[in-house]
Structure 1
Amino acid sequence: MIEVTDVVKTYPLGEGEVVAVDRLSLSVAAGEFVAVVGRSGSGKTTLLNLLAGIDRPTAGTVRVAGAELDGLSESALAGWRGGNVGLVFQFFQLLPTLTVAENVMLPMDFAAKIPAVRRRDRAMELLERVGIGDQAGKLPATLSGGQQQRTAIARALANDPPLLLADEPTGNLDSHTAQAVLDVFADLNAEGRTIVVVSHERDIRTLVNREITLVDGRVVADEGVRA
């Protein structure tokens, strides 16, 4: 599902540059549930952005879901992302003027992968799947943090992508709600979906297949942590 080879990512800083990812290589097979951990500034979010095609490598290759991302144009990249990757962010990124159901339908409207007549029904199915079907007609601001993150997960699943990428999805949640959200990811992985999650949650090790530790943009540990 993922093949990263000798990737470097630098950003300009004053007259020099900062190296966010440093000659990093890794592979993730279809169906794996992988946690990427490390201290702040270790390159976790940069790596996730490279996998999502949000950012491009300075050097090296990023191949995800059958596509070599650095070889795609911006429009081709957007089309690829719409059908292959679901993104979940720490701060939810829900549109405040759309209802919960409309937020979930939005990626379907952009990608046009789901027939228009099926989109609302699919949104409702996904909201039921993550346990908040009764919130479909509400605006995001009226929901709890956990409910907003469940909405974001449903939105990420809108076009049935084979890969989910999540950047600190529990960072704004209390411990009980965080565990419930992580359990949703575990259930999705049990159904065969590939998941890569950046997380500081200590309990993440009980759910994932692998834990990859980054330090200064490099992989310093790559452990299988669950039978």
Structure 2
Amino acid sequence: MLTTAATITAFTTIFVMIDPPGLVPLFLALTHGMTPKQRRTVAIRACIVSAGLMMFFLFLGQAVLDFIGISIPAFRIAGGILLFITALDMLFERRQTRRRTSAEDALDPGHDPSVFPLGIPLIVGPGLITTLILLASTASGPLGLATVVAVALINIAIVFVTFLAAPRIGRFLGTTGLSVMTRLLGMFLAALAVQFIIDGIISAGLTGAAG
């Protein structure tokens, strides 16, 4: 089972990678002109799809790595670098620009945005996939993995609530407030990414010493 500190770290990492506040303006743009009932339906579908994808990578991500022949220390270092790049994108607003581009590509009156681009890649993107595999690899036993699953599902629940409250959140925070929050989350993610890299280097050193 994960320790309290590890559980908090897992929750924070997933939360920062998804960045629910940053999804608010995109959700509003993708559901523009929809009734509250239609928005709720889109939110439900997007969260169900996202939860399914997250479970897939939590349970089968390790098997994929084993099949390819990638060690966990190597993946931690590579994942940490990827997460650090994502953090820089959040700090300099490049991530939101890419997200907006994906949202604009899907702005079609007859298009259902729940799977694309909301489910993937806006909620479950490459960075989150990497994070999930890393967290699953550090979970000790079935209880540890169950804790990561619970943390992931709690984050999906937060996304769902955020989508339902998106109009109010958008009015309350405004463009500036959402930008500031995204940058703060980027700072947290940068620190977590460095920790992943340090853990990977230490694990690689221990593995090499044991060999």
Greater share of helix:
2
Give the TM-score range, shorter chain: under 0.3
Give the alignment's TM-score, normalised by structure 2: 0.25
Greater share of strand:
1
Give the alignment's TM-score, normalised by structure 1: 0.24
